[in-house]
Amino acid sequence: MIPVVLSGGSGSRLWPLSRAMHPKQFLNIGADHSLFQATLMRLAKIQGEALMPIVVSSEDHRFHVAEQCRALGVTPSAILLEPVGRNTAPAIAAAVVQALSTGKDDLLLVLPADHAIENLDALQKAFETGAVAARDGCIVTFGIVPNKAETGYGYIRVAEKGQSVQLVEAFVEKPDLATAQQYLDDGRYYWNSGMFLFKASVMLEQLRRHSPQVLHAVEAALESAKRDLDFTRLDAQAFSAAENISIDYAVMERSDQVAVVPLDAGWNDVGSWSAVWEIADKDSQGNATHGDVILEATQNAYVHAEHRMVSVLGLDDVVVVETADAVMVAAKDKAQDVKLLVDRIKQAKRTEATSHRKVYRPWGNYDSIDNGPRYQVKRITVAPGQKLSVQMHHHRAEHWIVVSGTAQVTIDNKQIMLTENQSTYIPIGIVHALENPGKIPLEMIEVQSGTYLGEDDIVRFEDRYGRAPAAAIQAI
C-alpha cells in the first residue's frame, strides 16, 4: 500500500494564521508537529515500515514539504509539484500515473495532509477493511460517522446501513441545517472525508472512462515533467489544460465501483477555527487558548496569540486570532465564512492574504520588522550550509549587519567573511550573494533603501534551488 498525501490546499478558512504561501497543513496548530507531519506520523505507525509516500503539492510549497519530511526522516518516493491548482482529480491522476510508472499495480491510499484523527486503532481497522474491497476492484472511500448535523461537509448516502463495506448510493452536496439534521436522523448518511483507497490500475481505468480529458492532460504533464532535486515539476502548459475538478465529480459520482467504509475515529478536517476549537484542550468555561491570553467573563471562545498579549472581556462563542501583521475577530458560528474576508483582502491587493510578515524560503526565512518611505528593515536567518541566489537589484541598495553566525558575502566577484557585529554595503546594480558556511544559523539585519523595495526587484543569475534565473520574481 502506497500512501498518497495531497498537500496542495491554501486553508483560507484558517486565516490569518494560514496564508497562501504558508497554509494550514504546514502549521503547528495546537501541537508539536504540523498537520502534514502528523499525517506522515500516523502512516508510519500504521505501516510499521519505512514510509515512502507520494506527495502531491503546490510548487509554491515544495520546500515546506521537503523540510518537514526531512525533519521526520521520511523520504518520499516522489514529490509531484503542481504548477497551478486543479483540484483533487488531476492531483490523484498524477499520483496514479506516477505509481504505475514503476511497473507495479499497488494499492494507493489517498489522504489529505490537513486532517486530525484521534483513534489510530480504528483508523487502521478501517484501512484493513477497505484494502480487502480495494483488492477486489472497488474504489473505497471512508465515510465519517456523523455525530451532529453539520453543514460544512458533503455527505455520502448508502443504500442500506449495517455492513462494514457498503455500496454508495449517492454523493450529496453540503446541506442546510434542517437537511443536515434529516441526514443525521436517517442514519444512512456519512460525512465525505476525502480519503480513498484503490488499486492504481482500477482508478486509471475509471479516469479513462469517466474523465479522459483530465487523464490525458496529466499524462502529458508527467511525460514532459522536469526532475529538480527531490521534486518532479509537472509541465505547466500540459497540467494547466486539465479540467479543474474534484475526484468526486470526475469519478466517484459516475462510477458503479464505489464502496464506503464507515470510520469513527475522532476525525476532524480542521477546516475552520470552530473545528480547531473542537479538538483543542479547553478550560472549565469551554475556552481554548494559545499564547499570551487573558480572559474574563468569556465562554466557549478560541483565542490565539502569536506575538503579543491578547485579552477578551465579556464575549461568548468568539474566535480571536492575532499574528504579527493581522488580527481577526469572528463569531464562532461564522467561522466557515473567514474565506470571505480573505477574498476581500485579495481584492484590495494586500499581501496579508498570501504571506506572513515572516516569509519562509528554501535557505531560511526573513521577517520584515519595519518599513517606511524609501526604506525597509528585515531580520534574515540563513540555515547552515545554505545560500541565497546570485542576484542584483535595479532600485535598492542594501546594508547587511551580522548579529550572530558567519556570513560569506560575494560582492561584484569579491568574497569577504563577516562575523558578529560586522557589516557590509551592496550598492544598487551590483551583483551579490550571501551564504552561511558555518554550523549554526546566520542571523542578520538587512536595511534596504531606494525608490522601490518590492520583492519583484530581483534579477537572479544563479540559484541552487532551481528558481528561475535572470527574471523578476517574488523571492530572494
Per-residue pLDDT of 272-282, as tens digits, reads 999 999 989 99
pLDDT of residue 51: 85
Judging by beta carbons within 10 Å of its beta carbon (0-12, 13-18, 19+), is residue 113 exposed, middle or buried? buried
Contact 393, 457 (CB under 8 A): yes
Distance, in Å, from the CA atom of 38 to the CA atom of 113, rounded to the nearest integer, reads: 8
Contact 308, 298 (CB under 8 A): no
Contact 416, 424 (CB under 8 A): yes
Backbone angles phi, psi at 288, to 5 degrees: -115, 130
Distance, in Å, from the CA atom of 148 to the CA atom of 138, rounded to the nearest integer, reads: 29
pLDDT of residue 472: 41
Q: Is residue 183 classed as helix, strand or coil in its secondary structure?
A: helix
Per-residue pLDDT of 210-220, as tens digits, reads 999 999 999 99
What whole-number percentage of the chain has pLDDT above 70?
98
pLDDT of residue 469: 58
pLDDT of residue 151: 86
Per-residue pLDDT of 444-460, as tens digits, reads 999 999 999 988 899 99
Contact 398, 425 (CB under 8 A): yes
115: Cβ–Cβ under 8 A, 6 or more apart, which residues? 35, 39, 193, 195, 267, 268, 269, 270
Per-residue pLDDT of 139-193, as tens digits, reads 999 999 999 998 888 999 998 877 789 889 999 999 999 999 999 999 999 999 9
Q: Above 70 in pLDDT, residue 470?
A: no
Q: pLDDT band for position 388 (50/70/90)?
A: very high
Pairing relation of β-strands 166-172 and 258-263? antiparallel
Output the average pLDDT for the chain: 93
pLDDT of residue 471: 43
Give CA angle at 174 (117, 342), nearest 5°: 80
DSSP class per residue in 303-331: EEESSS-EEEES-BSEEEEE-SS-EEEEE
Distance, in Å, from the CA atom of 80 to the CA atom of 98, rounded to the nearest integer, reads: 9
pLDDT of residue 96: 98
User: Closest Cα partner for 385 from 369, 404, 403, 408?
Assistant: 408
Give the CATH class of 358-462. Answer: mainly beta
Residue spans of alpha helices (H) in 294-397? 338-347
Q: What is the mean pLDDT of residues 51-73?
A: 92
pLDDT of residue 456: 86
Per-residue pLDDT of 263-312, as tens digits, reads 999 999 888 999 999 989 999 999 999 999 999 999 999 999 999 999 99
Hey, which residues does 410 pair with through a beta bridge?
Answer: 415, 433
299 φ/ψ sector (left φ>0, alpha ψ -120 to 50, else beta): beta
Per-residue pLDDT of 179-227, as tens digits, reads 999 999 999 999 999 999 999 999 999 999 999 999 999 999 999 999 8
Q: pLDDT band for position 476 (50/70/90)?
A: very low
Pairing relation of β-strands 54-58 and 166-172? unpaired
Question: And the C-alpha cell for 206?
Answer: 475509471
Separation in Å, CA 108 to CA 117, 127, 194? 19, 11, 14
Contact 91, 42 (CB under 8 A): no
Hey, which residues does 192 pair with through a beta bridge?
Answer: 143
Distance, in Å, from the CA atom of 460 to the CA atom of 476, rounded to the nearest integer, reads: 9
Q: What is the mean pLDDT of residues 107-112?
A: 96
Per-residue pLDDT of 71-102, as tens digits, reads 999 999 999 999 999 999 999 999 999 999 99
Neighbours of 470 (CB within 10 A): 11
Per-residue pLDDT of 410-432, as tens digits, reads 999 899 999 999 999 999 999 99
DSSP class per residue in 86-120: --HHHHHHHHHHHHHTTT---EEEEEETT-EES-H
**How far apart, in Å, do the first and last CA atoms of the chain sit?**
39
Distance, in Å, from the CA atom of 38 to the CA atom of 266, rounded to the nearest integer, reads: 14
Per-residue pLDDT of 315-339, as tens digits, reads 999 999 999 999 999 999 999 899 9
pLDDT of residue 271: 87
Q: pLDDT band for position 468 (50/70/90)?
A: low
Q: What is the mean pLDDT of residues 352-366?
A: 90
The residue that leads in pLDDT, 31 or 126, is 126
Q: pLDDT band for position 475 (50/70/90)?
A: very low
Distance, in Å, from the CA atom of 147 to the CA atom of 439, rounded to the nearest integer, reads: 51
pLDDT of residue 50: 77
For CATH 2.60.120.10, list the domain ranges present in the chain: 358-462
Distance, in Å, from the CA atom of 303 to the CA atom of 437, rounded to the nearest integer, reads: 41
For CATH 3.90.550.10, list the domain ranges present in the chain: 2-268
Q: pLDDT band for position 47 (50/70/90)?
A: confident
Distance, in Å, from the CA atom of 419 to the CA atom of 406, rounded to the nearest integer, reads: 5
pLDDT of residue 219: 97
Hey, which residues does 80 pair with through a beta bridge?
Answer: 56, 232
Q: Above 80 in pLDDT, residue 229?
A: no
Q: What is the mean pLDDT of residues 367-385?
A: 95
343: Cβ–Cβ under 8 A, 6 or more apart, which residues? none
pLDDT of residue 359: 87
CATH code 3.90.550.10 for 2-268: yes
pLDDT of residue 102: 92
Side-chain half-sphere CA neighbours of 127 within 13 A: 21
Distance, in Å, from the CA atom of 239 to the CA atom of 259, rounded to the nearest integer, reads: 29
